[in-house]
Amino acid sequence: MEFETIPTIPTADEVLDRSFRRAAAKKKLKSNVDRANEEFVRAITSAIHDKLKSVVSAFPSFERLPPFYREVTDILVSLDRLKKSLGAVTWAADQVRTIGSGYAHNMRRAADTDQLRRRAVARIASVVHQVDKDLVFLNEARNILRKLPHVSEDEFTVVVAGYPNVGKSSFIRLVSTAEPEIATYPFTTKGIIVGHRDLGRGERVQFIDTPGVLERPADERNPIERQAVSAIINTADVVLFILDASEHCGYVLDDQVALLGELRGLVDVPVVTVANKADIRRIEGYQAVSTLTGEGVEGVLDLLLRYREDTRQTSRQEPPRSGTPE
Ligand SMILES: Nc1nc2c(ncn2[C@@H]2O[C@H](COP(=O)(O)OP(=O)(O)OP(=O)(O)O)[C@@H](O)[C@H]2O)c(=O)[nH]1
Ligand SMILES: [Mg+2]
């Protein structure tokens, strides 16, 4: 994932300290005081400018991010805030360069270059301090985003969805390489978790575990639920919706079925629905599953993977693209 490669982002003081130290070392090499002062200002200017620019370019272009990552970035750290901070840091980089080269230029004709050097340093430091909050925010965003798992756009993807505590993670653990935490309370899973299932001959499918979602207006959902909805909408080739008919999850079946109805309206991929915890209670009309006893699990897997065949056949039948530009 593109966020993984973003290095730690320094604070304003760290940017300044590092650049001053390097420039001071260079200054020592010059015997002429005026040339040394000019060299010092040029050196801190380019070190700070380059550092700030490299912070900005370490972030991926949000326009080019796959829709799922774009949406989740917005949910977790706000795209708007991210763009503002990146804009502020770009502004600071440009300001530093303008101020620094202005002073360095003036030093050629100045009587007191020590004074000009001190002024240049003060103004540059003030610009960098102005974006300290942005640098701190960008580092926080980087720490959050780099934890996002890698979701492949090319692999056939099953997204497991449903109310909290119904057994989504238990199912994912049984059928894939993912090892999500399983617990008796709701909202155990707080982010997207990705696992795979090897089908042999180098082929595999991607399984995505999602946090539980409650049936309520979209704008009342918390960021954890919104991440789940985004994964369902943007990454699924087929959705496995898990109901808990025993209601041991703590939520009534009617609400779970209402959520199922809502999700069906949001996606245009198939939705396979199962009633988990069949060891406690089974209901008519839904495929019975128990991740505890293993009942029904193989059957559901077969059903899910049959959609994979369908997808492959459809893509094989697609007419070749014409070379006409859009
Ligand atoms: N009796 C029974 N309990 C189950 C079954 N499947 C899961 N559980 C239990 O249900 C609880 C919730 O399981 P999880 O797999 O964590 O549920 P989840 O849907 O991932 O929950 P969230 O991450 O909180 O949304 C755990 O205590 C599981 O042991 C089942 O088939 N039968
Ligand atoms: Mg879970």
Kindly report, residue by residue over 168-190, the tens digit of the pLDDT. 999 999 999 999 999 999 999 99
* pLDDT value of residue 317: 62
Ligand 1 atom closest to 293 (CA): 31
Does residue 325 surpass a pLDDT of 80?
no
The number of the ligand nearest the C-alpha atom of 168 reads: 1
CA–CA dist 66, 81 (Å, integer): 19
Does residue 315 surpass a pLDDT of 80?
no
Which residue's CA is the closest to the ligand 1 atom numbered 25?
A: 164
Does residue 143 surpass a pLDDT of 60?
yes
* pLDDT value of residue 138: 98
Ligand 1 atom closest to 248 (CA): 10
Which residue's CA is the closest to the ligand 1 atom numbered 9?
A: 167
Does residue 109 surpass a pLDDT of 60?
yes
Q: Each residue of 20-74: pLDDT tens digit?
A: 998 888 777 777 899 999 999 999 999 999 999 999 999 999 999 999 999 999 9
Does residue 320 surpass a pLDDT of 90?
no
* pLDDT value of residue 30: 74
User: Domains of the chain, with CATH numbers?
Assistant: 2-145 (1.20.120.1190), 157-316 (3.40.50.300)
Continuous segment of H or E residues that includes residue 273: strand 271-276
CA–CA dist 159, 205 (Å, integer): 11
Q: How confident is the model at residue 326 (pLDDT cuts 50, 70, 90)?
A: very low
What phi and psi values does residue 240 have, to the nearest 5 degrees?
Answer: -105, 110
Average pLDDT of span 89-109: 97
Average pLDDT of span 210-239: 97
Q: 154 alpha carbon to ligand 1 midpoint, in Å? A: 29
Residue ranges in the chain assigned as alpha helix (H): 12-28, 33-58, 67-77, 79-107, 113-130, 132-145, 168-175, 223-235, 253-266, 297-317
* pLDDT value of residue 29: 74
Which residue's CA is the closest to the ligand 1 atom numbered 12?
A: 165
* pLDDT value of residue 257: 97
Ligand 1 binding pocket (C-beta < 6 A) is: 164-170, 182-184, 186-189, 211-212, 276-277, 279-280, 290-292
Ligand 1 atom closest to 184 (CA): 27
* pLDDT value of residue 25: 81
Does residue 318 surpass a pLDDT of 80?
no
Which residue's CA is the closest to the ligand 1 atom numbered 16?
A: 182
Q: 212 alpha carbon to ligand 2 midpoint, in Å? A: 7
Q: How confident is the model at residue 118 (pLDDT cuts 50, 70, 90)?
A: very high
Ligand 1 atom closest to 209 (CA): 20
Q: 170 alpha carbon to ligand 2 midpoint, in Å? A: 7
More confident residue, 241 or 1: 241
Q: Which of the listed residues 160, 163, 165 should we mutate to test ligand 1's pocket, taking the one with most ligand atoms within 8 A of CB?
A: 165
Which residue's CA is the closest to the ligand 1 atom numbered 13?
A: 167
Q: Which of the listed residues 182, 209, 289 should we mutate to test ligand 1's pocket, taking the one with most ligand atoms within 8 A of CB?
A: 182
For the chain, give the mean pLDDT. 93
Which residue's CA is the closest to the ligand 1 atom numbered 32?
A: 277
Q: Which of the listed residues 159, 163, 166, 170 should we mutate to test ligand 1's pocket, taking the one with most ligand atoms within 8 A of CB?
A: 170
* pLDDT value of residue 161: 98
Average pLDDT of span 147-161: 95
State pTM to two decimals.
0.89
Does residue 95 surpass a pLDDT of 80?
yes
Q: 32 alpha carbon to ligand 2 midpoint, in Å? A: 68
Q: 182 alpha carbon to ligand 1 midpoint, in Å? A: 6
CB-based contact 208:193 (threshold 8 Å): yes
Average pLDDT of span 297-320: 80
Q: How confident is the model at residue 323 (pLDDT cuts 50, 70, 90)?
A: very low
Segment among 86-95, 112-121, 254-263, 317-326 with least mean pLDDT = 317-326
